[in-house]
Structure 1
Amino acid sequence: MRKNVTIALLLATFLAAIEGTIVATATPVMASELNGAKLVSWIFAGFLLFMAVSTPIYGKMADLYGRKRVLLFGIGVFTVASLACGLAQSMETLIIFRAVQGIGAGAVLPIAMTIIGDLYTYEERGKIQGILSAVWGISGVAGPLLGGFLVESLSWRYIFLLNVPFALVSFIMIVVFYKETVKATSRKIDYRGALLFAVGMSALLYGLLSGSEAEQFLRPTVIGSFLISAVLLFLFYRAEKKASDPLLPPAVIKHPVIVVINLAVFFSAWVLVSMSAYIPIFAQGVLGKSPTEAGFMLMPLSLFWTITAIIGGRTIGTASPRYRTMSGMGLLVVGMLILVFISRETSDVFIYLAVSLIGIGFGLSQPVFIVVLQTSVGRSLRGSATAVNSFLSTTGQTLGVAIFGTIFNLSIIQAFNDSKILSGYSIDPFFQATTANRYGNAVHTAAELALADGLRLVFIGGVLCALVAFAMTFRLPKVRPDDKPN
């Protein structure tokens, strides 16, 4: 049973993992075809926003009512939304369906990891996390290649249809093989707290993302979103203090080891989005690469993440959580520093080197973070602990998209407005080489420089976030924690 369930969970993980790598490769083409360069951040942000908001709620539901039904619901929603994304006729409808995808994905990844935490011991979890990383690695290699091929040969729409067969197989296997005994409980989910949290966080993230899209945060709608968020999250805090079974258990959010892990994961998520979302734009808009060539530049991230995680997972029982994660976060700093200094004249080798170092860094650290976190709490809190960790990772990526997107947009808009050569030109065509080449050499070169300067600011932000994540690892224990009773 355990083997078949693990295979189903790996398929579910592949379902979510390949989505990110394919979409990242196709983003410039989608933005150009749907005339939505200013909305490009929302392709990622709409997905991440609703994934972030729903994740803690799913985690609590899984602790109270069982993992199986929550995971199946998430896979079903994700699949239907994927079909809808493939049929989208405008950037606005694509973003809406991506948001629905996020609602499904909010259950898939954290609940799959929670089930693995239930089925395996500390040492075994390390090995399975290595295998999970292999799935991410395969998707990371296949995604850009397949995504680039589909974009160039057929259409970007086909990238969403790939989710369907994997989803169906995973869904059926979980239904057939995962036998879960759910104990009857008088505990109930804190629906009032869940509603306040969901709407409050949605308002906060919407305000950030809407402000970043419009390049200014003082519009009435943005200010209103922040005010609504502040009120609702304050009410959520009050409700949680009075709740008999709060949505975010104090034993999870106040645990010293979990706090450090969550902060490191939160800031490393900014690093991940700063390079995975913007390297394809740099490759196509600045270096003149094709979508497939741009996808190749992201491949080392998944490849080296996979190799490092597999090797490290087999020695996780003897390795120091502190020193391994310090090494991983340190490599993130080095990799992002390399990206800061790349330019139009930089050899592709340096980009591959930076992405490889970042991949090794994540491979060293991320499996250790999740294994130590799941070992630090018992089964009754494992779903919530894993979900909160996933929530902070997703929120970090969402905030990264919003803040970095604002920095990038403001930079290139200012550059276009200030340039005598670029003034009056639309930014959209310069996101990919095929449309940018239609313009004269002087215009094309000036646009490449403007894009490169904006992207450099994003990478500098990534360096700062990597430094914060690195500092967090000094607070992790030197020895492995003991498994907590259920």
Structure 2
Amino acid sequence: MRKNVTVALLLATFLAAIEGTVVSVATPVIASELNGAALVSWVFASYLLFTAVSTPIYGKVADLFGRKRVLLFGIGLFTVASLLCGLAGSMEQLIIFRALQGLGAGAVLPISMTIIGDLYKYEERGKIQGILSAVWGVSGVLGPVIGGFLVETLSWRYVFLLNVPFALLSFLMIVAFYKENVSETTERIDVKGALLFAGGTSAFLYALITFSETNVWTSPVIISGVASLLLLASFYVSERRAKTPLFPFALLKHPVIASINGAVFFAAWVLVSMSAYIPIWAQAVLGKTATEAGFMLMPLSVSWTVTSIIGGRTLGAASPRRRAVSGMSLLLFGTILLTSLTQASPDVFVYLAVALIGVGFGLSQPMFIVVLQTVVSYRERGTATAANSFLSTVGQTLGVAVFGAVFNFIVLSGFRTEEALRGVSLESFFNRAASTALETGVRLQGEQLIADGLNTVFAGAALAAFIALLIALRLPVHPPEPSRDN
């Protein structure tokens, strides 16, 4: 039973993991075809926003009422939303359907990791988490290549259909093989707290992302920001009084959990800078095709996979602090290298930087989740795992918003002020045929402006990596003692 369930969970992880790499490669083409370059960040942000909002709620429901039904619901919703994304007729429709995908993904990844924590003891989790990371790596390798091929030969719409067969197979295997004993409980989900949390988080992220698009304190931004403060303050008060709080704050204050969550939060900024902006660098600055842009992301997945598999087998004897510090240091070195890129830089510099970042994630991420699941009890594992996923997703969402604001401010301001670029659309640089049709001087000036914006984004990622490194220094030197019911 355990083997079959593990295979099903790996498939579920694969369908969610491949989504990010496939969409990243297709985004420039989607922006060009749907005339929505200014809304590009929303393609990522809507997905991440609704993943972030739903993840903690799913985690608490899974702890109270069982993992199986929550996971099946998430896989089903993710699959339907993927089909809708492939049928989208406008950028606005695509953003809405991506939000539905996010609602499904909010259950798939954290609940899959929670079930693995249930099935395996501490000594085995490192190996399984290494295999789980390998799935991320394989999807990262196949996603850009397959996605680029589909974009160039068929249509970007087909990239969303890749999820369907994996989702159906995973769904059926979980139904058939995963037998769960759910004990009766009189506890109930804190509906009031869940609604306040969902509303407050959504309003906050909406305000942030909207500001990143406009760079102006408009009425929607101000209203959403004030609403988020009021709702989240009410959520905090409600949680302090609730019998079954959505977020047990005492759990999140645990020194090991707090350090892991902090490092994961800032490392997520680095990850989103890679997935969202390396393809733009390749296509808009270097003039590469979607497939070639996908190959530039491949070292991230390959190095992450290899490092996770090797490191996972020795995780039980490893020092959490040493692994985390090594991983965050490599993230910092990789992002610093990216800030030095120019239009004339050899491609090998991009590959090297992305590979270093992949090794950093491979060293740290499996260790983070294994240690976190070890220091909590069975009844807290879903909540703790979901909270960690939530902070990672919020980190990515904030990264998309902040980096999007910086990139848009630099690039769009330049397009408005530079005389040679007036009347030239940013979308034209996302399409190889359109960019090569421009005058050489205009094209080079536009590419340089986009490169400046991207270098600034990578500098922001380097700062996030440095903060993650400082937080990693707080982790314990020795592996923690397992919880009594672990």
Q: TM-score range by the shorter chain?
A: over 0.9
Q: Which residue does the alignment assign to 2:78?
A: 78
Cα shift at 1:252: 2.0
Give the 3-state SS of the residue equivalent to 2:342 in structure 1. Answer: coil
> TM-score under structure 2 normalisation?
0.99
Cα shift at 1:245: 1.1
Alignment of 1:13-52 (within 5 A): 13-52=13-52
Partners of 1:252 and 1:43 in 2: how far apart? 33
Partners of 1:186 and 1:129 in 2: how far apart? 33
Partners of 1:470 and 1:181 in 2: how far apart? 41
Partners of 2:454 and 2:7 in 1: how far apart? 39
Letter in 1 for 2:67: R
Partners of 1:347 and 1:432 in 2: how far apart? 22
Alignment of 1:77-226 (within 5 A): 77-216=77-216, 218-226=217-225
Alignment of 1:384-395 (within 5 A): 384-395=383-394
Deviations 1:146-175 (A, max 9, x none): 000000000000000111100000000000
**Which segment drifts farther, 250-259 or 119-128?**
250-259
Letter in 2 for 1:402: A
Superposed CA RMSD in Å reads 0.7
Cα shift at 1:434: 2.3
Cα shift at 1:340: 0.1
**Which segment drifts farther, 439-448 or 85-94?**
439-448
The answer to whether the Cα contact below 8 Å between 1:74 and 1:105 also exists between their aligned partners in 2 is yes
Cα shift at 1:430: 1.1
Cα shift at 1:4: 0.2
The answer to whether the Cα contact below 8 Å between 1:264 and 1:469 also exists between their aligned partners in 2 is yes
Partners of 1:482 and 1:242 in 2: how far apart? 31
Q: Which residue does the alignment assign to 1:340?
A: 339
Cα shift at 1:184: 0.3
Partners of 2:224 and 2:66 in 1: how far apart? 34
Q: Which residue does the alignment assign to 1:325?
A: 324
Give the 3-state SS of the residue equivalent to 2:419 in structure 1. Answer: coil
Cα shift at 1:62: 0.3
Partners of 2:187 and 2:433 in 1: how far apart? 58
Partners of 2:249 and 2:236 in 1: how far apart? 12
Q: Which residue does the alignment assign to 1:477?
A: 476
Give the 3-state SS of the residue equivalent to 2:473 in structure 1. Answer: helix
Q: Which residue does the alignment assign to 2:364?
A: 365
Q: Which residue does the alignment assign to 1:259?
A: 258
Cα shift at 1:370: 0.4
Letter in 2 for 1:236: F
**Segments ≥4 residues shifted beyond 4 Å:** none
Partners of 1:315 and 1:374 in 2: how far apart? 17
Deviations 1:408-444 (A, max 9, x none): 0000011112212112222111123222111111111
Alignment of 1:288-327 (within 5 A): 288-327=287-326
Q: Which residue does the alignment assign to 1:417?
A: 416
Deviations 1:250-298 (A, max 9, x none): 2321111100100000000001111221010000000011000000000
Q: Percent identity?
A: 65
The answer to whether the Cα contact below 8 Å between 1:379 and 1:485 also exists between their aligned partners in 2 is no
Partners of 1:417 and 1:210 in 2: how far apart? 20
Q: Which residue does the alignment assign to 2:277?
A: 278
Partners of 2:209 and 2:2 in 1: how far apart? 41
Partners of 1:206 and 1:328 in 2: how far apart? 31
Partners of 1:28 and 1:160 in 2: how far apart? 15
Cα shift at 1:399: 0.4
**Which segment drifts farther, 423-432 or 25-34?**
423-432
Give the 3-state SS of the residue equivalent to 2:479 in structure 1. Answer: coil
Q: Which residue does the alignment assign to 1:429?
A: 428
The answer to whether the Cα contact below 8 Å between 1:322 and 1:478 also exists between their aligned partners in 2 is yes
The answer to whether the Cα contact below 8 Å between 1:75 and 1:108 also exists between their aligned partners in 2 is yes
Equivalenced residues, count: 485
Cα shift at 1:383: 0.2
Letter in 2 for 1:261: I
Partners of 1:299 and 1:387 in 2: how far apart? 28
Partners of 1:479 and 1:283 in 2: how far apart? 42
Give the 3-state SS of the residue equivalent to 1:475 in structure 2. Answer: coil
Cα shift at 1:461: 0.2
The answer to whether the Cα contact below 8 Å between 2:85 and 2:160 also exists between their aligned partners in 1 is yes
Partners of 1:90 and 1:252 in 2: how far apart? 43
Give the 3-state SS of the residue equivalent to 1:421 in structure 2. Answer: helix
Give the unaligned 5+ runs of structure 2. none
Partners of 1:73 and 1:284 in 2: how far apart? 37
Letter in 2 for 1:126: G
Partners of 2:146 and 2:90 in 1: how far apart? 23
Cα shift at 1:345: 0.0
The answer to whether the Cα contact below 8 Å between 2:20 and 2:275 also exists between their aligned partners in 1 is no
Partners of 1:250 and 1:342 in 2: how far apart? 43
Partners of 1:279 and 1:13 in 2: how far apart? 23
